[in-house]
Amino acid sequence: MDYSKMSDFEINKAVGESTGEALNTEETLNLVIRNSTGRRFDPCNSWADAGPIIEKFGIGLMPFKKSPAKAWPLSVGLLSNAGVEHENPLRAAMIVYLMMHDKGEE
């Protein structure tokens, strides 16, 4: 799947459904609702939502000042081609998470 073509909402929804964090979604408002708390779940833009996923699933993250950030599964190392580059480091990390999930690496 080409995650680069997905919107932040679509990535948030896929991550939320995969992790069990998404209770429901409101596509018109581009909201993914976090279970039990009723709070918006936005791992593409919130360290509070992305941080636990990055830590739990061993995702490396390297922001750069003048080029896109890179995220990668720590199990393969920084020099691997398994990384994802994007201007938004949290979005890159969530794409890596979804790629790992697709391959059953969780």
Average confidence score pLDDT of the chain: 85
Instruction: Give the residue among 97, 103, 69, 76 at the shortest CA–CA distance from 3.
Output: 97
Distance CA 82, CA 77 (A): 9
Distance CA 72, CA 31 (A): 26
What pTM, to 2 d.p., does this model score?
Answer: 0.83
Would you kindly state where each structural domain of the chain is located, as residue ranges?
A: 3-102
**What confidence score (pLDDT) does residue 62 get?**
85
38-60, pLDDT tens digit by residue?
Answer: 788 999 999 999 999 999 999 99
Q: 34 near 22, Cβ under 8 Å?
A: yes
**What confidence score (pLDDT) does residue 11 get?**
95
Hey, what CATH class is 3-102 in? alpha beta
